[in-house]
Chains A and B, each alone.
Chain A
Amino acid sequence: MADIYQPIRNFFITLKQITVGNKWYYAWVGFLSLLVLIGVVSYIQQLNRGLILTAMRDQVSWGLYISNFTFLVGVAAAAVLLVIPAYLYNFKPIKEIVLLGEMLAITAIVMCLLFIVTDLGRPERAWHILPVVGAMNFPSSLLAWDVISLNGYLIINCIAVFYTLYRLSIGKEYKMSVIWPIVIISIPWAISIHTVTAFLYNGLSSRPFWNASILAPRFIASALCSGPALMLIIFQIVRKVSKMEISDTAIFKIAELIAYAMGVNLFLFGAEFFKEFYSGSIHLAPMKYLYFGLHGHSNLVIWMWVALIFNVTAFFLFLRPKTRENFFALNLACVLIIIGVYIEKGMGLVVPGFVPGTLGEIYEYTPTGLEKNVTIGIWAAGALFFTLFLKFALPVYTGELRFKAPENEK
Chain B
Amino acid sequence: MPGRDEKNNPGFRLIDRRGFLKGAALGLMSMALPHRSDASFWEGFFQKHFREMNSEEIREVIKRLEKEYKEKYKVDFNIKTTKPLPGVLFGYGLDISRCIGCRRCVYACVKENNQSRDPQIHWITVLRFRKGEKWVSNLEEADKYYYPDRVPEEGYFYVPVQCQQCENPPCVKVCPTQATWKERDGIVVIDYNWCIGCRYCMAACPYGARRFNWGEPRIRREEINPNVHYLGNRPRYRGVVEKCTFCIQRTREGRYPACVEICPVGARKFGNLLDPKSEIRYCIEKKRVFRLKEDLNTFPKFYYFFAI
Contact = CB atoms under 8 A, between A and B. Distances in A.
Interface of A: 38, 40-42, 44-45, 47-54, 56-59, 61-62, 116, 119-126, 128-129, 134-137, 140-144, 147, 200-201, 203-207, 282, 285, 295, 353-354, 356-361, 368-370, 372-373
B203 interface: yes
A50 B179 contact: no
B12 A370 contact: yes
A368 B125 CA distance: 26
Contact of B216 (A50, A125, A373): A50
A203 B210 CA distance: 18
A359 B208 contact: yes
Nearest to B10: A53
B238 A121 contact: yes
Nearest to A377: B12
Contacts of A123: 196
A134 B177 contact: yes
Contact of B176 (A47, A141, A358, A368): A141
- Taking each of B26, B127, B195, B204, which has the highest tally of chain A beta carbons within 10 Å of its own beta carbon? B204
B43 to A, nearest CB: 14
B129 to A, nearest CB: 10
B208 A58 contact: yes
A129 B12 contact: no
B213 interface: yes
B211 A58 contact: yes
3 nearest A-B pairs in the assembled complex, by CB-CB distance: A369-B11, A121-B197, A121-B239
A353 B202 CA distance: 12
Given A47-B27, A141-B200, A361-B144, A204 B12 contact: no
Given A47-B31, A62-B203, A129-B176, A120 B196 contact: yes
B88 interface: no
A168 B17 CA distance: 44
Interface of B: 9-13, 15, 20, 23-24, 26-28, 30-31, 45, 49, 52, 119, 125, 127, 137-142, 144, 161, 170, 173-179, 194-200, 202-208, 210-216, 237-241, 296
14 contacts: A44-B23, A44-B24, A61-B199, A62-B199, A121-B198, A125-B177, A141-B175, A141-B200, A204-B203, A204-B204, A205-B170, A206-B203, A359-B161, A361-B208
A205 B15 CA distance: 45
Contacts, number: 190
B interface, over-half SS: loop
B57 to A, nearest CB: 15
A128 B138 contact: no
Contact of A143 (B45, B127, B198, B210): B198
Contacts of A48: 23, 26-27, 30
Given A137-B178, A358-B207, A359-B142, A120 B198 contact: yes
Contacts of B213: 50, 121
Contacts of B240: 121-122
Given A41-B23, A51-B197, A136-B178, 4 more contacts: A54-B214, A136-B177, A204-B204, A370-B10
B215 A282 contact: no
Given A122-B239, A141-B200, A360 B194 contact: no
Given A50-B239, A359-B127, A137 B176 contact: yes
B4 to A, nearest CB: 13
Contact of A50 (B138, B177, B215): B215
Contact of A369 (B9, B210, B214): B9
A143 B198 CA distance: 10
Contacts of A201: 203
B206 A141 contact: no
A373 B125 CA distance: 34
B182 to A, nearest CB: 13
Contacts of B207: 358-359
A372 B12 CA distance: 9
A142 B212 contact: no
Contact of B194 (A128, A147, A205, A285): A128
A147 B176 CA distance: 9
B87 to A, nearest CB: 28
A282 B174 contact: no
B212 A58 contact: yes
A31 B36 CA distance: 39
A41 B24 contact: yes
B201 to A, nearest CB: 9
Contact of A359 (B10, B144, B198): B144
Contacts of A58: 202, 208, 210-212
B178 A61 contact: no
A123 B237 CA distance: 13
Contacts of A137: 175-178
Given A50-B216, A141-B200, A147-B176, A206 B194 contact: no
A49 B127 CA distance: 31
A128 B238 CA distance: 17
Contact of B215 (A49, A119, A203, A353): A49
Contacts of A61: 199, 202-203, 212
B177 A358 contact: no
A41 B45 CA distance: 24
Among B30, B208, B216, B237, residue most surrounded by chain A Cβ atoms (within 10 Å): B208
B12 A141 contact: no
Given A135-B49, A360-B141, A52 B196 contact: no
Contacts of B239: 50-51, 120-122
A42 B177 CA distance: 27
A111 B205 CA distance: 28
Nearest to B31: A47
Contacts of B176: 129, 136-137, 141, 143-144, 147
B197 A122 contact: yes
B140 A282 contact: yes
Nearest to B15: A41
Interface-centre pick from B161, B174, B176 (highest chain A CB count, 10 A): B176
A47 B142 CA distance: 35
B142 A207 contact: no
B19 to A, nearest CB: 9
B196 A129 contact: yes
